[in-house]
Amino acid sequence: MPNIPEGAARLGFQPPREKLESLQRVADAALAYLSEEELLRELLERVSEILSADTAAILLLDETGETLRARAAKGIEEEVERGVQIPVGKGFAGRIAAERRPITIDDVDHADILNPILREKGIRSLLGVPLLAEDRVLGVLHVGSLATRLFSADERDLLQLAADRMAVAIQKAALYEQRRLADVLQRRLLPALDRVSGLELAGRYLPASGASLGGDWYDAFPLPAGRIAVVAGDVVGHGIGAAAVMAQIRTSVRAYAVDGGRPSIVVERVNALIYDLGPPTMTTLAYVVIDPERESFEVVIAGHPPPLLIRRDGAASFLPLQGGIPLGASPMARYRSDTHELRSGETIVLYTDGLVETREAPIDEGLDRLRAAAAGGDEPEALCARLVERMVRGEPADDVVVIAARVPRPPERLHGRWRAEAHELASVRQLLRRWLRVQGATDEEIADITVACQEACTNAIEHAYGPGVQEFELEATSTSGRIRVTVRDEGRWRPPRGTHRGRGLLMMRELMDSVDVRHTDAGTVVVLERALAGRDG
């Protein structure tokens, strides 16, 4: 004996074995992973097979719950092509949705039919049932016959059973699509940390259990003068609403930050914007601006957990709390910016309260666990992995964000490749200045060598290439106090354009001890050398 669906037993009839098998296929879980269009089309094929119907259509309620829209059809495809809409309570399908019960029409010619396509296609008889999921109407399923047909009570009950299973599949598909879109949105809102030069960066985002989209986020982006902003924020709540507020705040932080204002002013402007957007949403923020060249950072806290600082010796400690209130609480809120040292090899960690707060223990205990887990330091990627492993137990009850930033130690030999674009010069200058300071260069020597190097890089960008994405390479070494900087490109220099162009080579020769420019078929190589004062050359 085949398993008879629960609803079938309740309705007091037993469909034939072949119809039961077709009905079971309507409930196939794999259908939930089709796209909505494919799912609806496949469901109609199976329902038509079950009832040997000539036509079939699915109409789903729109967001208002007041209108049915044709979403899929078999034999009457014009319903979808013409975008048929039926008000709830009107016509054949509208009555089914409003009354939440099956309706049979034996003779279409003598019935109240709102949709003219049904008559145009020559349909003689109709049977329709509501699509119900958890006692909620999702839409209407109807089938039709081109010959006059008296649909039996068993056929009506069988179509309702099919509709019940279709409603579950449609609901699952909708949830799957929402989660897919949420995941795509969340990924797009998280930054590509590997594209931020000047710092070693790593981050983690874990949504709360049962949610795929929330209000926690992290960010990192370059600022003028070689500085880098690192941000972590927390909008209370989950779902599209929290994510929308988060996206607004994230964008406003970036927009105000690139204006070059002090961190405290940036946060105050973001706060005013959030308050004006209203209604207020509880939002906390940690905003850090790191200056790798000066080995320092500024921090502003708006109701957020304190950043964690890991020193070179592995000791971990929290920054002092500033007392700043969450964003959006008051339009007149003022925030303080504090400056701290961040030497090469040291790491700052920003996070949200989901990492340290649980229902079982107070937040102070979570902070102590975090400090213990971070002690000893590590490169940012390994550090983030360790913190999540030790701090997050099972499925997190709240969103979790962690971002770690470390100022890398300057290498003995500086070497890198950059896109041949003007905005990359700031990164090159910042790295070269830090490297020269480690080599013992004075401020004047650092300024001269950096300017000369920038001229060589600028020539590579302006003269070496035509349109398209290209790169240039820079290498710097120090031997017995003598600095050598080599800039390579893979193009050919063009003659200077304009009356005030072509002075870069002259400037390089005035600032350096020697300048060698070699043009080859493979590209151009510029070698700059200068002995540091007080060192053997």
Write down the domain spans for the chain: 6-181, 190-406, 414-531
Alpha-carbon gap, residue 47 to 72, rounded angstroms = 12
Choose which CATH entry (3.40.50.1820, 3.40.190.10, 3.40.50.880, 3.60.40.10) describes domain 190-406. 3.60.40.10
Instruction: Give the 3-state secondary structure of residue 456.
Output: helix
Q: What is the pLDDT of residue 280?
A: 63
Alpha-carbon gap, residue 52 to 47, rounded angstroms = 8
Q: Give which of 254, 288, 258 is closest to 270, Cα–Cα.
A: 254
Cβ(337)–Cβ(285) under 8 Å? no
Task: Kindly report the number of other CB atoms within 10 A of residue 37's CB atom.
Answer: 11
Q: What is the pLDDT of residue 20?
A: 53
Choose which CATH entry (3.40.50.20, 3.30.450.40, 3.30.110.40, 3.30.160.250) describes domain 6-181. 3.30.450.40
Task: Kindly report the number of other CB atoms within 10 A of residue 105's CB atom.
Answer: 21
Alpha-carbon gap, residue 404 to 351, rounded angstroms = 9
Reported pTM:
0.63
- In whole angstroms, what separates CA 315 from the centre of its chain? 33
Alpha-carbon gap, residue 228 to 297, rounded angstroms = 9
Q: What is the pLDDT of residue 494?
A: 55
- Predicted confidence pLDDT, tens digits, the chain (537 residues): 344 344 443 334 445 555 555 555 555 544 555 666 777 788 788 888 888 899 999 999 987 889 999 988 999 988 888 888 999 999 999 999 999 999 999 999 888 888 888 888 899 999 999 999 888 899 999 999 999 999 999 889 888 988 888 888 788 777 766 666 666 666 666 788 888 878 899 999 988 766 556 788 999 998 887 889 999 999 887 766 777 788 889 999 999 998 878 999 999 999 998 888 776 678 999 999 999 888 899 999 999 999 999 999 999 999 998 888 999 888 889 999 999 999 989 999 999 999 998 877 778 899 999 999 999 878 999 999 999 999 998 777 788 999 999 988 888 899 988 888 888 888 888 889 989 988 999 999 999 999 999 999 998 888 766 566 788 999 999 999 999 999 998 876 555 555 445 578 899 999 999 999 998 888 889 999 999 986 544
> Which residue has tokens 């929402």?
178
Using the 8-state DSSP alphabet, how is residue 312 labeled?
T
Helix (H) or strand (E) holding 93: helix 91-99
Cβ(39)–Cβ(130) under 8 Å? no
Helix (H) or strand (E) holding 484: strand 482-489
Question: Could you report how far apart the first and last alpha carbons of the chain are, in Å?
Answer: 96
Q: What is the pLDDT of residue 269?
A: 94
> Which residue has tokens 């089709």?
34
CATH architecture label of 414-531: 2-Layer Sandwich (3.30)
Question: Phi and psi (nearest 5°) for 325?
Answer: -85, 160
Cβ(246)–Cβ(215) under 8 Å? yes
Q: What is the pLDDT of residue 496?
A: 53
- In whole angstroms, what separates CA 416 from the centre of its chain? 29
Q: Give which of 234, 41, 264, 52 is closest to 143, Cα–Cα.
A: 52
CB crowding 462-473: b at 16 or more within 10 Å, else e: bbbbeeeebbbb
Alpha-carbon gap, residue 67 to 88, rounded angstroms = 6
